[in-house]
Amino acid sequence: MTEAKQTLGVLGGGQLARMMVLAGVPLGVRFRIVDPVADACAGQVASLLHEDWTALDRLQAFAREIDAATFDFENVPAETAEWLAAHAQVAPNARSLAIAQDRVLEKDLFRQCGLPTTEFADVTTRADLDAALARIGAPAILKTRREGYDGKGQFRLQTAGDAGAAWQALGAQAGSRGLILEAFVEFDHEASVIAVRAASGEFDAWPVTRNWHVGGILSASLAPAPLDDAIAAAARAHAQAIAEQLDYVGVFALELFVRGDRLLGNEMAPRVHNSGHWTIEGAVTSQFENHVRAVLGMPLGDTAPRGLSCMLNWIGELPERDALIAIPGAHWHDYGKSPRPGRKVGHATICGDDAATLAGRLRQVARALGRGAQVQPVIDALAAMR
Nearer to ligand AMP, 62 or 257 (CB): 257
Q: Which is nearer to ligand AMP, 153 or 352 (CB)?
A: 153
State in angstroms the smallest separation of the CB of 87 from ligand AMP. Answer: 32
Exactly one of 40, 45, 90, 141 binds ligand AMP (CB under 6 A); that residue is 141
The residue among 383, 376, 325, 318 whose CA lies nearest residue 354 is 383
Residue nearest to ligand AMP (CB): 185
- Give least dist CB 327 to ligand AMP, A: 28
Distance CA 180, CA 104 (A): 7
Q: What's the Cα-to-Cα distance from 381 to each of 42, 259, 282, 356, 364, rounded to whole Å?
A: 34, 16, 18, 11, 16
Given 74, 102, 162, 190, the residue binding ligand AMP (CB under 6 A): 190
User: Nearer to ligand AMP by C-beta: 136 or 351?
Assistant: 136
Task: Give the nearer residue to ligand AMP in terms of CB position, either 89 or 219.
Answer: 219
Q: Is 184 in the site for ligand AMP (CB under 6 A)?
A: yes
Return the residue of 77, 116, 137, 216 that touches ligand AMP, per CB under 6 A.
216
Tell the burial category of 357 from Cβ atoms under 10 Å away from its Cβ (0-12, 13-18, 19+).
Answer: middle
| DSSP-derived secondary structure letter, 5 | P
Nearer to ligand AMP, 126 or 213 (CB): 213
Q: With binding defined as CB under 6 A, does residue 151 bind ligand AMP?
A: yes
Q: Using CA atoms, how far apart are residues 76 and 7, in angstroms rounded to an integer?
A: 20
> For the stretch 53-76, what's the b/e string if a residue is b when 16 or more beta carbons lie within 10 angstroms of its beta carbon?
beeeeebeebbeebbbbbbbbbeb
Q: Is 138 in the site for ligand AMP (CB under 6 A)?
A: no
Residue 162 touches ligand AMP, criterion: CB under 6 A? no
Q: Terminal CA-to-CA distance of the chain, rounded, Å?
A: 50
Pinpoint the alpha helices (H) of the chain.
15-24, 60-65, 78-85, 94-100, 103-112, 126-136, 163-170, 229-246, 279-282, 287-295, 321-325, 355-369, 372-385
Contacts with 241 (C-beta within 8 Å, 6 or more apart), sequence order:
113, 114, 115
Task: Please report whether residue 102 would count as binding ligand AMP according to CB under 6 A.
Answer: no
Q: Is 177 helix (H, G, I), strand (E, B) or coil?
A: coil
The single residue among 85, 138, 160, 185 that binds ligand AMP, judged by CB under 6 A, is: 185
The only residue of 6, 96, 266, 287 in contact with ligand AMP, by rule CB under 6 A: 266
Minimum distance of ligand AMP from residue 354's CB (angstroms)? 28
Cα separation, 109 vs 114, whole angstroms: 9
> What's the distance, CA 101 to chain centroid?
13
Q: Tell me how far apart the alpha carbons of residues 276 and 268 are, in angstroms, rounded to a whole number.
A: 13
Taking the least distance from each CB to ligand AMP, the nearer of 185 and 323 is 185
**Cβ-contact 20, 10 below 8 angstroms:** yes
State which of residues 35, 162, 182, 281 lies at the interface with ligand AMP (CB under 6 A). 182
Spatial contact of 258 and 231, defined as CB atoms under 8 Å apart:
yes
- The residues in 29-58 that bind ligand AMP, with binding defined as CB under 6 A, are none
Is residue 193 a contact point for ligand AMP (CB under 6 A)? Answer: no
CB of 221 to ligand AMP, least distance (A): 12
* Selected range binding ligand AMP among 94-102, 177-185, 303-311, 344-352, rule: CB under 6 A: 177-185
Closer residue to ligand AMP (CB): 219 or 287 = 219
| 118 belongs to the binding site for ligand AMP (CB under 6 A) | yes
* Closer of 82 and 147 to ligand AMP (Cβ): 147
Distances (CA, A) of 88 to 80, 83, 295: 12, 9, 11
Identified binder of ligand AMP from the candidate list 87, 126, 213, 363, rule CB under 6 A: 213
Q: How far is the CB of 110 from ligand AMP (least distance, A)?
A: 13
User: Could you give the C-alpha distances from 146 to 45, 77, 365, 381, in angstroms and in order?
Assistant: 30, 11, 37, 33
Query: How many residues touch ligand AMP (CB under 6 A)?
Result: 13
Residues within the interface to ligand AMP (CB under 6 A): 118, 141, 148, 151, 182, 184-185, 190, 213, 216, 255, 266-267
